[in-house]
Structure 1
Amino acid sequence: MTRRELIEYCLTFPLAYEDYPFDDAADASAWTVMRHRANKKSFALIYERNGKLCVNLKCEPLEADFLRQAFQDITPAYHMNKVHWNTVILEGDVPDGELQLLTERSYDLIKPKTRARRNDG
């Protein structure tokens, strides 16, 4: 999956938007931060490191550890909380379908929670 394909996939989530808080322009060396419009929380940080395209994704701690053991190209997140975030190296041993699933889970973890309505009868 290319950078643009991953960005376009992220934009399919409700209220998701593309941000470049660390760079003036959206180029190949820029950090792309995918956020939720309602709370501005990030769910995917896309960047290049050591010539490889990477994405940081939020994850439940037990799942994060499991994924690191299951895939060589999933590691504790670069520049993030290593308990709750993983780095995925794209075009490695993580299939695109798995990457999409991990991105969706990351989005679900940061999206605003809806309150259950109480029915007082």
Structure 2
Amino acid sequence: MAPLEAPLRCVAVRVLMDDAGEIDGLELEAFLNDVAGPHQWLSTTEWLFVEPPVEAGGKLTVPVVMPEAVAVKAVLHDLTKEAKRILFDHATTPGETRKWRWVAFQTAPNAQGQGRFPWECTHA
């Protein structure tokens, strides 16, 4: 039997564009580090596993996964802002969590072939 995964939440974060019309990755990283904390989140630039949430109202968003407790903190932190950036969140299904493990494997593979989420890695 596979080990039980800790609960994860996937949040839709509205992105800002840079001067070249691309997603401003540095700004997104700074925002996520502010609301969730460094090494507490994992993002992709495309909605790979589910459709973008209709709650985003057509705004460009990226999916970001993080531990449930961190997501609650991040959403509450963002609610205090005038221009909210976290537009939707949902608990990941076991299938989605496995797919997010695959995303983690792309940047932090481990010997078991699963990948480590950033919050599971040791950081100096």
Does TM-score exceed 0.5, indicating one fold? no
Higher Rg: 1
* Higher fraction of helix: 2
* Higher fraction of strand: 1
Could you state the TM-score of these two structures normalised by the residue count of structure 2? 0.32
Could you state the TM-score of these two structures normalised by the residue count of structure 1? 0.33
Specify which structure has the bigger relative contact order, considering alpha-carbon pairs within 8 angstroms and separated by 6 or more residues: 2
